[in-house]
Amino acid sequence: MELTEIKEKIKNFKIEVPSWGFGKSGTRFHAFHIPGEARNVYEKIDDAAFVNKITDSVSAVAIHIPWDKVEDYKALKEYAEEKGLKIGAVNPNYFEDEDYLFGSLSNSNLKIRQKAIDQTFECIEIMKQTDSKILSMWIPDGSNYPGQIDFNKSFELLEDSLKQITRHLEKDMTMLLEYKFFEPAFYSTLLFDWGTSYMLSKELGENVKVLVDLGHHSQGTNIEFIVSLLSQKKKLGGFHFNSRKYADDDLTVGSLNPYELFLIFVELNKFFDLSAESQNQKISLVLDQSHNVKPKIPAVVQPLNNLQITYAKSLLVDYEKLKQAQENHDVIEAEEILKEAYETDVREILREVRKEKGLPEDTVKYVKESEEYWKMVKEREEF
Amino acid sequence: MELTEIKEKIKNFKIEVPSWGFGKSGTRFHAFHIPGEARNVYEKIDDAAFVNKITDSVSAVAIHIPWDKVEDYKALKEYAEEKGLKIGAVNPNYFEDEDYLFGSLSNSNLKIRQKAIDQTFECIEIMKQTDSKILSMWIPDGSNYPGQIDFNKSFELLEDSLKQITRHLEKDMTMLLEYKFFEPAFYSTLLFDWGTSYMLSKELGENVKVLVDLGHHSQGTNIEFIVSLLSQKKKLGGFHFNSRKYADDDLTVGSLNPYELFLIFVELNKFFDLSAESQNQKISLVLDQSHNVKPKIPAVVQPLNNLQITYAKSLLVDYEKLKQAQENHDVIEAEEILKEAYETDVREILREVRKEKGLPEDTVKYVKESEEYWKMVKEREEF
Amino acid sequence: MELTEIKEKIKNFKIEVPSWGFGKSGTRFHAFHIPGEARNVYEKIDDAAFVNKITDSVSAVAIHIPWDKVEDYKALKEYAEEKGLKIGAVNPNYFEDEDYLFGSLSNSNLKIRQKAIDQTFECIEIMKQTDSKILSMWIPDGSNYPGQIDFNKSFELLEDSLKQITRHLEKDMTMLLEYKFFEPAFYSTLLFDWGTSYMLSKELGENVKVLVDLGHHSQGTNIEFIVSLLSQKKKLGGFHFNSRKYADDDLTVGSLNPYELFLIFVELNKFFDLSAESQNQKISLVLDQSHNVKPKIPAVVQPLNNLQITYAKSLLVDYEKLKQAQENHDVIEAEEILKEAYETDVREILREVRKEKGLPEDTVKYVKESEEYWKMVKEREEF
Amino acid sequence: MELTEIKEKIKNFKIEVPSWGFGKSGTRFHAFHIPGEARNVYEKIDDAAFVNKITDSVSAVAIHIPWDKVEDYKALKEYAEEKGLKIGAVNPNYFEDEDYLFGSLSNSNLKIRQKAIDQTFECIEIMKQTDSKILSMWIPDGSNYPGQIDFNKSFELLEDSLKQITRHLEKDMTMLLEYKFFEPAFYSTLLFDWGTSYMLSKELGENVKVLVDLGHHSQGTNIEFIVSLLSQKKKLGGFHFNSRKYADDDLTVGSLNPYELFLIFVELNKFFDLSAESQNQKISLVLDQSHNVKPKIPAVVQPLNNLQITYAKSLLVDYEKLKQAQENHDVIEAEEILKEAYETDVREILREVRKEKGLPEDTVKYVKESEEYWKMVKEREEF
């Protein structure tokens, strides 16, 4: 690919940021206070707007319901638009209501199940008002002990709930089914791997697809192969970008094993043009991190940079030559073609792109030295 | 369940034993010689017959092609029948031919791929001659390094090969698709989890099902849930019974985490009557172990005992009461109902069953003291 | 072992229960309210006393500082004693103070480090006042990202802090060093495995030992071997009993893989007499669970039963015969000797023991039907 | 670090290559023939010499006994020296002799144990004759099933054997104790983690150290922390470089997760000067790969390049600035300092270094196009 084309693609490469990435978060042991945390959805949008101002690479702000509940969603949408942002994926929360102790959409208590369904309908309503097209479903239902649930009944109930919900979706809306290996259900999780989400997405129809969260796999899983397979079967709907060492650590994407991230992008490029205008609504690219020890805004700027680096490198791969090496079963050559791209220092390209856009060249450093940023932190700490 | 009914079920509970369980095996470091190893398929059938004589719980002998290749398969079948046995699942071997260095049924070298397909046709031919109804496919294809294969092309080629093979199956034949997390391909494996096998089984039709090998999952996987889900979706075709600590260790089934095995049987009982006459061809239950440090025949008798213990316990579960506890979300009660069955000492039941059948009551001990066994060992060592 | 001796041993087999096992707990996603939760340390002692009344198998109540902070520790001790209980291990909490965001005893900010040391001194003071002999240290220090900490400096600082603390211990006090594979530090944890704890325990002296928490190992770890090795080297100091499927799930001990628990007890019996009077202070046996979906008191009674079952089975092992089989390299025989004990239904023994002690025979069921229990639950819910 | 200094360091950075890396290898399923495989130790030395001729970065050839047994070791040493090479670590093989079915240095059969000890004495003799200073011990002893071995007795026997062996070492000889999480013993391995090797190295004395094989850890282990800790405690003796996805895959070092490798080198640089002249005998850096699908010589040249890239990047780290960021608890800054070095394209530096040394600039490509190489392959295939 020509350098100008690569630069053009990077210019249009946008990522959705999560509202919850700007607020307080923590582990089960403690949620430490980090100065500057956003305290409500408007501050979260302010923060996303600030990030976008210096990076021009935020496509939208994903919201979490009920965390981001407001009286007037049209007003919320307009607030975002004034700041140059859109509302992205709507994420219903099935893990916090006291009623969901034994499950939400799969609860054998039909009253509670209905509550979870109704709550999702409400999210679809919010989507209409905020012009969001993605219903991003993470269903934590499962069990902590052998015998606790009837696997089959629970799965059937979940499937039935999802069918009801799917029927409420408008034509241009997509439901994404996230999966997660474990936690908060420790013994069994109904949607525990890509296969469970894929199975349901097949039964639920074309506007239901699978969401890959990079931290939701068992150790040793080849994620890039899953990405490739789901793409091939037209069932890859989106990503939650983060990183992990052992479990669902929700660390900064690119902070551990960046080569794996690169290999994932290599597969994505075969199916998607990830530069924004063309990819719109085809694949949802969302940050999903939990910054326990990092200040929030820098902790969003940093992974955007990591993703741009990775995307740029993946564009440098000589895919034709790679195919040829694969045909020849030339294992070393195929690897070296990938490494040829991966080892390239693409930061100069990013700096040029930013310069041409009038953005700060070193975005991470910029935040650190930004008066606006520190003023905001100070103000939030004063109240 | 009444004790008499349980005893009846155990009497009819049969397991297929693998021909390769009686021969030499080892790790990549060394295959130690264990006195008494069978040296050809006829000795393997002799051994299976000996095991069956003292346990009356062998349903058939699974064979591996080309390891068990013979001139005359009808003769082989008759040899087995004379010994009171049938030929069970036929297992084509896709990992040993020098041509398969870069894959078999997914090889982008079409000549090699055709060879793998033809070899499978040959196995179907063997099935016809031996009256086997199960084609048990473990396809080790994958890659060792990033870039080595084009995931999508490889998967497409595999799918196409399987389609061709499926068309050759007779109506009462079933193809089982085994999956395996890794090894011998270390970076990617095309059928690496239940989802990949399930996906293909859906596309290939009703007589293609999924085979679960207990050692082929990533650490922490809830296998009983997979078993339950596949059963519910009518895609569970069979088992390879073994045990593992970390990877695909192929240890004696029941030797590690017997409670997990019990929980798997609890799920199976909800969908299948595992006692032989009724289960015939509905679900294939096969031992698949690699006895690196145990003498071969005792190492087949021991797991048959483990499986009987586990099956008996699983029959003792009060499934109605369990359902009730699940409805009530009474987690502790549900667990205790399972434990009530699991903690029961069922060995007295097994001894009674064996007594009624005229079999040795302690089968493991019996082999150890059997003159016939030691004579056989001695004879094989002399040549 | 004779049945009477076994019964005697079980009668004297006591476990320490954690104060935090009776209070509210949860995952990072939510801490669901479970009716009847204890709301302060006195209610926790009440609950432990109730458990002891019906099981006679509680040795003491472990406390967590600052969670269980009170004005007058002597009064707390007396309150426990009136209820027939002792104060057990004192557990300093290094994860909740806002100052510990970047570490406690290893913090390179020396003021914060000193605070953590002082806090530990305070715990030693509490030990003196409550007559506790065990300082149970879980130090969560580590890092979330590469580069965050200087491994060596952090380890040195930790070592130095522990040296200072060790000097403050009285002669009959023992410091236990718990290790944990990960969480809340996701990238690195200073005491991440038995080796790190062992290394420090060697450098710190004889009254520093290692604590094994069953949920704190990487997948596939052979815990019974670690137990055996630490015992052999006189460095095993105690246990936190729980169970897990994948990570540090803190589930009911014995609820998953009870055979592994049995194998751990088999090793313990070779070094320790776990029946209470003799084992006092030699090895600390403490429950450490987080009951997210179970009512608290039943969730402590149930694992005590599980531990008694496991201990009873482990006493049934014919250790002499096992040694003989090991000498003969008779792998199957050795396994069968273990299984002989494990498959035995010991619940009748437990019922007899309880009858002889005048306790309810089915303790789990007893709580469920106890008016006293339900009255307590009701009262706590009313305020 | 100045560029000239970096180049100087890279020029002197040498790696030991394993004789077994040039011969046939495979998985337990099959060892495929790869054209050009060396068939004896002389051909292996030829191959190592060829690799050194084009890379000038081979410090020595590690040998495996009995695989590389010859009549005259002085002659072997001279053969190597004529080719510009030394004999490196001597690796006794404890896994292949039929007598070692139930263990070698820990075998409770004292005759077999003595055989293993004697065999090691023989290796020390070989060291004397070949002027090797490193005895590299990988002891696969352990068990496949619960009960199979008495953990304590086995460990004691192993310890005693090692004591005897240590006494035979000459003053300037070092014994390295490798550890491995599992395989070929699947249930327990005596030296299964760094802690077991460290424990023994402490008891055995100063010339016993720990060897880290990158593929021998459980999933999720932070290897760089282990490296740092062992270095700090003066017990890090060396490396076996390779890469893995799940288990001990023995893939090309740097082929998966190269960032982890970089982080390991970052720790190493704090304790060792890895450039050859100064590091000699202080730390043993050895390739240990099993090239199942790659031609052998290219498969050694490629990782040498990967290691040079990684080493060069690790030299670029601004360690002073990193310390400062760590002191400030500036997590993002610390990460970015590491990334600043990691993202740099160092290949131009390597090309310059090679140019200055008169070597081919692209070593991987060079082999592919080398007439000498293809002639050798052809010749070996003809016989």
Using one digit for the tens of pLDDT, what is the confidence trace for A234-291? 999 999 999 999 999 999 999 999 999 999 999 999 999 998 765 555 899 999 999 8
Q: Which pLDDT score is estimated for D308? A: 98
Q: Side chain identity at C15, as an amino acid letter?
A: I
Provide the 10 A C-beta neighbour count for residue B271: 17
Select the residue of A220, A258, A345 nearest D345 (Cβ to Cβ). Answer: A345
C54-79: b or e for each residue (b if 16 or more CB lie within 10 Å)? bbbbbbbbbbbbeebebeebeebbeb
The residues near D51 (Cβ < 8 Å, ≥ 6 apart) are D17, D58, D297, D300, D301, D304
In a domain, C323, yes or no: no
Sign of CA dihedral C348, C352, C355, C359: negative
H/E element, B375: helix B371-382
Q: Is the ipTM of this complex over 0.85?
A: yes
Q: Which is it for strands B58-65 and B142-143: parallel, antiparallel or unpaired?
A: unpaired
Alpha-carbon distance of D344 to A344, in angstroms, equals: 8
pLDDT tens per residue across span A315-339: 999 999 999 999 999 999 999 999 9
Please state, in angstroms and as integers, the Cα–Cα distance from residue D167 to each residue in D104, D111, D117, D174, D198, following that order. Answer: 19, 20, 12, 11, 18
- What is the average pLDDT score of chain A? 96
The residues near C202 (Cβ < 8 Å, ≥ 6 apart) are C235, D202
Q: Side chain identity at D113, as an amino acid letter?
A: R
To 10 degrees, what angle do helices B223-232 and A151-168 make? 60
Residue D108 confidence class, pLDDT cut points 50, 70, 90: very high
pLDDT tens per residue across span A84-122: 999 999 999 999 999 999 999 999 999 999 999 999 999
Q: Which residue of B has its CA nearest to C252?
A: B332
Residue-by-residue pLDDT tens, chain B, 383 positions: 899 999 999 999 999 999 999 999 999 999 999 999 999 999 999 999 999 999 999 999 999 999 999 999 999 999 999 999 999 999 999 999 999 999 999 999 999 999 999 999 999 999 999 999 999 999 999 999 999 999 999 999 999 999 999 999 999 999 999 999 999 999 999 999 999 999 999 999 999 999 999 999 999 999 999 999 999 999 999 999 999 999 999 999 999 999 999 999 999 999 999 997 655 558 999 999 998 999 999 999 999 999 999 999 999 999 999 999 999 999 999 999 999 999 999 999 999 999 999 999 999 999 999 999 999 999 999 87
In a domain, A343, yes or no: no
SS3 A140: coil
pLDDT tens per residue across span B140-188: 999 999 999 999 999 999 999 999 999 999 999 999 999 999 999 999 9
**Which chain C residues contact residue B257 at CB under 8 A?**
257, 259-260
**Which chain A residues contact residue B259 at CB under 8 A?**
146
Cis ω before B66 (30° cut-off from 0) = yes
Select the residue of C32, C186, C292 nearest A251 (Cβ to Cβ). Answer: C186
Which neighbouring-strand residues pair with C65? C92
Q: Side chain identity at C341, as an amino acid letter?
A: A
pLDDT tens per residue across span B24-78: 999 999 999 999 999 999 999 999 999 999 999 999 999 999 999 999 999 999 9
Helix %, strand %, coil % of chain D (to 5)? 50, 15, 35
Answer yes or no: do A198 and B196 touch at CB < 8 A.
no
* Burial of D278: CB neighbours in 10 Å, binned 0-12, 13-18, 19+: exposed
Contact A245, C187 (CB under 8 A): yes
Q: Side chain identity at D106, as an amino acid letter?
A: S
Domain boundaries, position B288:
13-301
Q: Which pLDDT score is estimated for A1? A: 82
C334-366: b or e for each residue (b if 16 or more CB lie within 10 Å)? bbbbbbbbbbbebbebbeebbeeeebbeebbeb
Q: Which pLDDT score is estimated for C199? A: 98
Of A178, A319, A182, A290, residue with least CA distance to A236: A178
Q: Which residue of D has its CA nearest to B255?
A: D145
Q: Which of B24, B33, B178, B186 is best to mutate for the D interface (most D CBs within 10 A)?
A: B186
Number of compact structural domains in chain C:
1
Contact D94, D138 (CB under 8 A): yes
Residue D278 confidence class, pLDDT cut points 50, 70, 90: low
Which residues of C have a CB under 8 Å from any CB of B?
219-220, 222, 245-246, 252, 255-260, 293-295, 298-299, 302, 309, 331-333, 335-336, 343-347, 364, 368
Q: Which residue of A has its CA nearest to D258?
A: A259
What the block records as the tokens of D284 is 């043993």
Select the residue of C259, C331, C344 nearest B293 (Cβ to Cβ). Answer: C331
Q: Which pLDDT score is estimated for A280? A: 52
Q: Which other chains touch chain B, taking contact as 3+ CB pairs less than 8 Å apart?
A: A, C, D
**Which chain D residues contact residue B146 at CB under 8 A?**
255-256
Rg over CA atoms, chain A: 21
pTM beyond 0.90: the answer is: yes
SS3 A136: strand
Q: Which is it for strands A134-137 and A174-178: parallel, antiparallel or unpaired?
A: parallel
What the block records as the tokens of A115 is 């509550």
Which residues of A have a CB under 8 Å from any CB of D?
219-220, 222, 245-246, 252, 255-260, 293-295, 298-299, 302, 309, 331-333, 335-336, 343-347, 364, 368
Alpha-carbon distance of C262 to C251, in angstroms, equals: 17
In a domain, A374, yes or no: no
D202-239: b or e for each residue (b if 16 or more CB lie within 10 Å)? bebeebbbbbbbbbbbbbbbbbbbbbbbbbbbebbbbb
Q: Side chain identity at B205, as an amino acid letter?
A: G
What the block records as the tokens of B136 is 């048990």
Q: Side chain identity at D58, as an amino acid letter?
A: V
Alpha-carbon distance of D297 to A374, in angstroms, equals: 56
CA atoms within 13 A on the CB side of C289: 30
**Closest Cα of chain C to D338: distance in Å?**
7
What the block records as the tokens of B147 is 């870039």
Select the residue of C331, C333, C364 nearest B336 (Cβ to Cβ). Answer: C364
The residues near B15 (Cβ < 8 Å, ≥ 6 apart) are B57, B58, B59, B241, B285, B286, B287, B304, B307
The residues near A378 (Cβ < 8 Å, ≥ 6 apart) are none
SS3 C302: helix
Alpha-carbon distance of D142 to D155, in angstroms, equals: 9
Of B92, B190, C136, residue with least CA distance to A228: B190
Q: Which residue of D has its CA nearest to B33?
A: D98
In a domain, B309, yes or no: no
Alpha-carbon distance of B249 to B292, in angstroms, equals: 10
Q: Side chain identity at B94, as an amino acid letter?
A: Y
Per DSSP, helices labelled H in chain D are 3-11, 41-55, 73-82, 110-130, 151-168, 194-204, 223-232, 258-271, 276-279, 298-316, 319-327, 331-342, 347-357, 363-369, 371-382
Q: Which pLDDT score is estimated for B277? A: 61
Alpha-carbon distance of B214 to B56, in angstroms, equals: 24
**CATH code (residue B48):** 3.20.20.150
Q: Which other chains touch chain C, taking contact as 3+ CB pairs less than 8 Å apart?
A: A, B, D
Stretches in chain C below the pLDDT threshold 50: none
**Closest Cα of chain D to B109: distance in Å?**
16
Q: Which pLDDT score is estimated for C277? A: 60
Which residues of B have a CB under 8 Å from any CB of D?
26-30, 32-34, 95-96, 98, 101-102, 140, 144-146, 148, 181-184, 186-187, 218-219, 244-247, 249, 251-252, 255-256, 292-294
Which neighbouring-strand residues pair with C209? C176
Of A252, A271, A260, A269, residue with least CA distance to A224: A260
Task: Give the mean model confidence (pLDDT) for residues D133-161.
Answer: 98
To 10 degrees, what angle do helices A110-130 and A73-82 make? 40
Largest CA distance in chain D: 65
The structure tokens 């349901």 sit at A200
Contact D176, D237 (CB under 8 A): yes
Residue A300 confidence class, pLDDT cut points 50, 70, 90: very high
Q: Which pLDDT score is estimated for D1? A: 82
Residue % of chain B over a pLDDT of 90: 97
Of B254, B255, B372, residue with least CA distance to B314: B254
Q: Which residue of B has its CA nearest to C313?
A: B343
Which DSSP letter does residue C252 get? P
Alpha-carbon distance of A274 to A314, in angstroms, equals: 11
- Torsion from C-alpha of C345, C347, C349, C351, nearest 10 degrees: -160
C227-251: b or e for each residue (b if 16 or more CB lie within 10 Å)? bbbbbbbebbbbbbbbbbbbbbbbb
Answer yes or no: do C343 and B343 touch at CB < 8 A.
no
Task: Give the mean model confidence (pLDDT) for residues D31-47.
Answer: 96
Q: Which residue of C has its CA nearest to B309?
A: C343
Sign of CA dihedral C2, C3, C4, C6: positive
Q: Which residue of D has its CA nearest to C103?
A: D329
Q: Which pLDDT score is estimated for D277? A: 60
To 10 degrees, what angle do helices D298-316 and D3-11 make? 150
In a domain, B129, yes or no: yes
φ and ψ at A174, to 5 degrees?
Answer: -120, 135
What the block records as the tokens of D27 is 């998985």
The residues near D286 (Cβ < 8 Å, ≥ 6 apart) are D15, D16, D17, D18, D62, D88, D89, D136, D238, D239, D240, D241
Residue % of chain D over a pLDDT of 90: 97
Alpha-carbon distance of D179 to D195, in angstroms, equals: 9
Q: Side chain identity at A36, as an amino acid letter?
A: G
Q: Which pLDDT score is estimated for B281? A: 56
In a domain, A180, yes or no: yes
Cis ω before C66 (30° cut-off from 0) = yes
